[in-house]
Chains A and B, each alone.
Chain A
Amino acid sequence: MDLNIFQYSFMVRGLEAGIIVALIAPAIGIFLVLRRYSLIADTLAHVSLAGIALGLLLGINPIYGAIGVTALSTVGIERLRSTNKVYGESSLALFLSGSLAFAVILLSLANGFNTGLFSYLFGSIVTVTQNDVYTILILSGIVAAVLAFFYKELIYISFDEEAARAGGIPTRTINFVLILLTALVVSLSIPIVGVLLISALMVIPVVSALQFKRGFATTVLYAEIISIFSVIFGIIASFYLNLSTGGTIVLIMLAIFSLILLVAPGTKKGV
């Protein structure tokens, strides 16, 4: 059986979308990991499911539904945290379970659980349309631009929030922007790895790159390389082996992480 991956336009689209997402996920993931915000990515991923369900119910593109609902929840999470009535982590738990409950109700209204849901939970590049690719490209471009604009502030806040604030950096605003960008990236990543595996895409390449103990710029570069390699290799491997794409990508990332843990020189110094 001669299967050429590029004969299939859906595979080309999947690779295009995958590479864009692979580029953007670690760029934001590094700040989430260093700020101990990894759980926020996971919460927003679950929240996005409610958006997807809403999209399916209303007949609009589920990615847009996901963007809308995650962005709104971002505001809600920040509001709830700033009231100091609940702990930060508890506010995440409230939103995670609450939105999941909401999603389940919406899905049961929309003729119960169908096969479409499975592809949103675990990703399915087969379903990526050309319009999705454009949407992912444009929104990723916006995320990349905003990240570039606030890059120096984000690094400073991640390293030493108090000193950054004393230096006149609007830390609250920057924190909010970071979470809003996370909501966008989560929504964009759904077609590739699905809701349940998104935080892996943002976190594992970064955690792997951190093992090399290098400077910030170098660490970001390494995370990007690991991410892009895993996504391309994962999409191709899943195609030939007929496996779930999202699962394959995440397992490849985990394999790379384990390999790095074994061989990385733990005391290596310098850039």
Chain B
Amino acid sequence: METKEENEIKPPLKFSNGVDHTKKVIEIIDVSFSYGNDEVLSGISLDVHKGDYLGLVGPNGAGKTTLLKIMLGLLRPTKGEVKIFGTELKEFDRWADLGYVPQKATNFDPNFPATVKEVVLMGRTGRKGLLRQMNKKDEELAEKALREVGMEQYEHRLIGDLSGGQQQRIFIARALAAEPQIIFLDEPTSGVDMKTQDDFYALMKKLNQELDLTLVLVSHDIEKIMGEIMHVVCVDKTLVCHETPEEFLKDSHSRVIAGENVKFIGHHH
């Protein structure tokens, strides 16, 4: 169900780079989500195309992360339908095609006894399937992923001994090791310094353009990502906009969201 409403909101997109608009990798059709009686997302419809580099923005508590988790199959929508690579979520089983870089701080024990290589190898787990042991090929793919993010010299270091920015590269390598088609990143640049942020966006550009990966990035740092992404999706319970960064900066309704976020950034940083 391609809603009329969505067509009204969404201005014609200018297509750049390697986005293939004939191939929808994700279709979100009129999706709502509630925690108990508290509706977090309402009537969201959105297509993500192959090769896109999508920024998901919105004020704090607007449901960005919830939407991301719905796309990853971590949350089931209360209403509506999600298709990944054309398959309905309920029947979808190619989870290893979706890479996930979670918000670092929430999920990670810095004292966990694992080397960088052991962490990257975890990314192979879903691809292997149950009852299969890791082999030489998995090791090679883990090493290759480490080279992609420029961290091969840290292979034997403990994950907890690295800096925040380095750890994030390792988690990106972990996602890459599964050889995914899409990578989802949740607030990847929160709490890292400017230089690390620049390195991060350079790496994202490389993954998107050279490795042809579709990227979905949740961020509240609107100013920064506008110069990086191809399309921006603004969420504030409903889908507020889906357009190019140029259009976003021109649109007045977006400025409201941007304004809220600038305020939000000011409070927390």
| A interface residue numbers (CB < 8 A to B) | 34, 148-153, 155-156, 158-170, 210, 213-219, 269-271
| Inter-chain contact A219/B128, CB cutoff 8 Å | no
| Inter-chain contact A159/B130, CB cutoff 8 Å | no
| Inter-chain contact A210/B113, CB cutoff 8 Å | yes
B130 CB contacts on chain A under 8 angstroms: 149-150, 153, 170
Question: Smallest Cβ distance from B185 to chain A, in angstroms?
Answer: 12
| Inter-chain contact B158/A215, CB cutoff 8 Å | yes
A148 CB contacts on chain B under 8 angstroms: 133
Within 8 A of A (CB), among B38-96: 72-74, 93-96
Q: How many interface residues does B have (CB within 8 Å)?
A: 40
Residue of B nearest to A33 (CB): B113
**Bound Cα distance from A34 to B73, whole angstroms:** 26
User: Which of B109, B115, B160 sits near A271, CB closer than 8 Å?
Assistant: B115
Given contact pairs A152-B125, A168-B93, A215 touches B74 in the complex (Cβ within 8 A):
no
B226 within 8 A of A: no
B22 within 8 A of A: no
B108 CB contacts on chain A under 8 angstroms: 159-160
| Inter-chain contact B100/A155, CB cutoff 8 Å | no
Question: Smallest Cβ distance from A211 to chain B, in angstroms?
Answer: 10
Residue of B nearest to A174 (CB): B130
B173 within 8 A of A: no
| Inter-chain contact A168/B122, CB cutoff 8 Å | no
Residue of B nearest to A215 (CB): B115
Given contact pairs A150-B130, A152-B134, A213-B113, A160 touches B158 in the complex (Cβ within 8 A):
no
B112 within 8 A of A: yes
User: Which of B73, B113, B131 sits near A216, CB closer than 8 Å?
Assistant: B113
**Bound Cα distance from A155 to B44, whole angstroms:** 36
User: Which of B95, B109, B158, B174 sits near A269, CB closer than 8 Å?
Assistant: B158
Q: Which 8 A-B pairs have the closest CB atoms?
A: A168-B95, A167-B126, A215-B115, A166-B100, A219-B113, A156-B122, A168-B126, A166-B72
Given contact pairs A155-B122, A215-B114, A167 touches B95 in the complex (Cβ within 8 A):
yes
| B interface residue numbers (CB < 8 A to A) | 72-74, 93-96, 98, 100, 102, 107-109, 111-115, 117-119, 121-126, 128, 130-131, 133-134, 156-158, 160-161, 174, 178, 184
Given contact pairs A215-B118, A216-B118, A166 touches B73 in the complex (Cβ within 8 A):
yes
Question: Smallest Cβ distance from A180 to chain B, in angstroms?
Answer: 16
Given contact pairs A160-B107, A215-B114, A270 touches B157 in the complex (Cβ within 8 A):
yes
19 chain-A/chain-B pairs, Cβ below 8 angstroms: A152-B124, A152-B134, A153-B130, A159-B108, A159-B122, A160-B102, A160-B107, A166-B74, A167-B96, A167-B123, A167-B125, A167-B178, A215-B113, A215-B118, A216-B113, A216-B115, A216-B118, A217-B118, A270-B158
Can you name 17 extra interface pairs (CB under 8 A) apart from A163-B174, A216-B113? A149-B130, A151-B133, A152-B121, A152-B124, A152-B125, A152-B134, A155-B125, A156-B125, A164-B125, A166-B100, A213-B160, A215-B114, A216-B115, A217-B118, A269-B158, A271-B115, A271-B156
**Bound Cα distance from A57 to B184, whole angstroms:** 57
B134 CB contacts on chain A under 8 angstroms: 152
**Bound Cα distance from A75 to B181, whole angstroms:** 38
**Bound Cα distance from A152 to B178, whole angstroms:** 14
